Structure 1
Amino acid sequence: MKRYIGEIMLLTTAIIWGSGFAFSAISLDYFTPYQILAVRFTVGVLILSVIFFPRVKRLKKPTIKRGFILGFLLYSAFLLQTVGLQYTTPSKNAFITAINVVIVPFIAFFLDKRKVDKFELAGAFLAIIGIAFLSLELSIAEINMGDLLTFGCAVGFAYQIYYTSKYVKDEDPILLTVVQMGAAALFAWMFVMVKGEIHFALEWKGILSILYLGSFSTALAYCFQTMAQKYTGETKTAIILSTEALWGMIFSIIILNEVLTGRMIIGAALILTAIILAETKPDFLRGKSVEDVRQIK
């Protein structure tokens, strides 16, 4: 039961992140990408600290150390994604970022000597193909600096997912999330200062959009992700979170009036197939007959 609760929380996280694409687009009309990151992580850590203040008072050094590692990985991934976007197209940026879904199982294999589940790996590759249909508009044959930076972002997100699964086994997921958000906010503000982007626009539309990103896409979503990974493996986590692209498409159609295309439908179908494959591990693909399955049951 806990496994299913974890998977529902991860799916909820992906839905929230998907809705965040539309609000990020609105926020970019009023703030720079670096300002958005700084504010969203700050809002996130403030909300979580207030809600879970009694727990925060019990913070210990190991949790702080692990949370800072996650916060560094998280902000580094966002930073590389943001800088990479300046040199490549949004479609390639989104697609290459999503490659983290196939990097995660290999990190677990090389660092923990953990066997790669063939169904989850197949699901991961299917998810990547589906995301390509959803987001990729140009050929990736020509690789530029932006693509390389974005690939670094994908590696960063993959390691963040891997280490979250590793740390959350021995830590309070709420405290781990609080420290992670606090560390990411610290790194984000340091970068804002270096860039000299200390002047913020005070327009209600921009403020409300960035508050949504901070409260839902950051505080709630990352809290759900960390809690869920206590019960869900990192590869399946990455596959479920990859549906962010699918939900981003849905919310872009609803909020930004984007036109639904046949390519989007194919991409959505592939992503859903990837989740079903990783979740159910169909018996007919294991080489068992229907009669064998009945006898086993």
Structure 2
Amino acid sequence: MKKILGILGLVTVTIIWGGGFVASDIALQTLAPFQIMFLRFLIGAFCMGMLARKEIKTITKDEILCGFLLGSALFSGFALQIVGLQYTTASKNAFLTATNVVMVPFIAFLLERKKVELKSVAGAILALTGAGILSLQSGFSIGLGDSLTLGCAIGFAFQIYLTGKYVHRIRPAILNFMQMLSACILSFIGLLFSGRIVFEGVSSSGWLAMLYLGVVSTTVCYFLQTWAQKYVDETKSAIILSLEAVFGTVFSVILLQEEVTSRMILGSVTILLAVMISEVSFKKKDSSSV
């Protein structure tokens, strides 16, 4: 029963994150990328801190380190994603982010020497093919936004991998708080370097988008993800979380009136097929999967 609830929790996360692509696009109209990052994780750190307030007094060095590593991966993913969104469409940003699913087993191989099966390699090649269909422009060049988004996928792949690695040994409330606090501090550093410290001219829709991103898309979603990954293995979690791209595209088409093209459909189907092949390729009956 808990596994079913975990799966439902992850599906809920993907729906909310799908709307997050649109909210980020709206926020970018009056806010700079690192302003959005800082506010998002500041809200997340505050909310997670309130949830973990009784446990913070007994926090350990190991929990701080694990939370920092997880927060760094989260920060890199979101930073590259939101900067990339300035140079590409919300739908392409969503689907290219989804390639993180096929990266997870290769991260496990590099860090833990876990075996990567032939079908996983096939899934990765197919995912890159789908990314190419979505991203390659005339002259076989890849746009800046597409490249940054593929980089963000690596960050999110590490975040999924590390969450599965830490969730059984670190208290969830502390892990989430340190993850958000670390991402907030790194975002503030990025904000200082960007030179956009002053928040002025922000529209009401921009502030509403920030509330959605900070409270719903960050606090609620990462609480659900951490809880759900206690009952759903990393491989299954990754494949379920890939649905974020589907909902991201749906919301982009409905709310942002993005045009649906045959190239978008073909690239999207190819990536989703790659995700399915990858999930089958390294799924195992025991608990040793990535």
Which category describes the TM-score, using the shorter chain as reference length? Answer: 0.7 to 0.9
Between 1:235-244 and 1:12-21, the stretch displaced more is 235-244
Provide the alpha-carbon RMSD of the alignment. 3.2
Give the partner amino acid of 1:5: L
For residue 294 of structure 1, what is the aligned residue in structure 2? Answer: none
Whole-Å separation in 2 of the counterparts to 1:127 and 1:225:
24
Between 1:2-11 and 1:160-169, the stretch displaced more is 2-11
Counterparts of 1:136-155 in structure 2 under 5 Å?
Answer: 136=135, 138=137, 141-143=140-142, 148-155=147-154
Contact 2:81 / 2:152 at 8 angstroms: preserved in 1?
yes
Structure showing greater Rg:
1
Between 1:22-31 and 1:123-132, the stretch displaced more is 123-132
Matched, 1:7 2:7: yes
For residue 292 of structure 1, what is the aligned residue in structure 2? Answer: none
Whole-Å separation in 2 of the counterparts to 1:10 and 1:40:
20
Whole-Å separation in 2 of the counterparts to 1:122 and 1:240:
20
Q: Structure 1 residues 130 and 6, CA, compared in 2 at 3 Å: closer, same or farther? A: farther
For residue 254 of structure 1, what is the aligned residue in structure 2? Answer: 254
For residue 175 of structure 1, what is the aligned residue in structure 2? Answer: 174
Give 1:95 deviation, angstroms. Answer: 4.8
Give 1:182 deviation, angstroms. Answer: 0.8
Give 1:232 deviation, angstroms. Answer: 2.5
Contact 1:101 / 1:128 at 8 angstroms: preserved in 2?
no
Matched, 1:190 2:228: no
Give 1:127 deviation, angstroms. Answer: 6.5
Counterparts of 1:195-214 in structure 2 under 5 Å?
Answer: 195-200=194-199, 201-214=201-214
For residue 157 of structure 1, what is the aligned residue in structure 2? Answer: 156
Give 1:151 deviation, angstroms. Answer: 3.7
Matched, 1:75 2:75: yes
For residue 288 of structure 1, what is the aligned residue in structure 2? Answer: none
Q: Structure 1 residues 14 and 138, CA, compared in 2 at 3 Å: closer, same or farther? A: farther
Counterparts of 1:2-151 in structure 2 under 5 Å?
Answer: 2-84=2-84, 89-90=88-89, 94-116=94-116, 136=135, 138=137, 141-143=140-142, 148-151=147-150
Q: Structure 1 residues 2 and 190, CA, compared in 2 at 3 Å: closer, same or farther? A: same
Structure 1 unaligned runs (5+)?
A: 282-297
Whole-Å separation in 2 of the counterparts to 1:220 and 1:165:
18
Percent identical residues: 46
Structure-2-length-normalised TM-score: 0.80
Contact 2:136 / 2:143 at 8 angstroms: preserved in 1?
no
Whole-Å separation in 2 of the counterparts to 1:143 and 1:20:
24
Structure 2 unaligned runs (5+)?
A: 282-290
String of CA shifts for 1:193-239, please: whole Å, max 9, x gaps.
22221111343221111110001111111111222222233233222
Give 1:63 deviation, angstroms. Answer: 1.3
Contact 2:94 / 2:244 at 8 angstroms: preserved in 1?
no
Contact 2:15 / 2:244 at 8 angstroms: preserved in 1?
yes
Contact 1:35 / 1:192 at 8 angstroms: preserved in 2?
yes
Q: Structure 1 residues 126 and 229, CA, compared in 2 at 3 Å: closer, same or farther? A: farther
Between 1:23-32 and 1:268-277, the stretch displaced more is 268-277
String of CA shifts for 1:172-206, please: whole Å, max 9, x gaps.
22221111001100110121122221111343221
Give the count of matched residue pairs: 279
Give the partner amino acid of 2:242: S
Structure-1-length-normalised TM-score: 0.78
Secondary structure in structure 1 of the residue aligned to 2:68: helix
Give the partner amino acid of 1:199: V
Secondary structure in structure 2 of the residue aligned to 1:53: coil
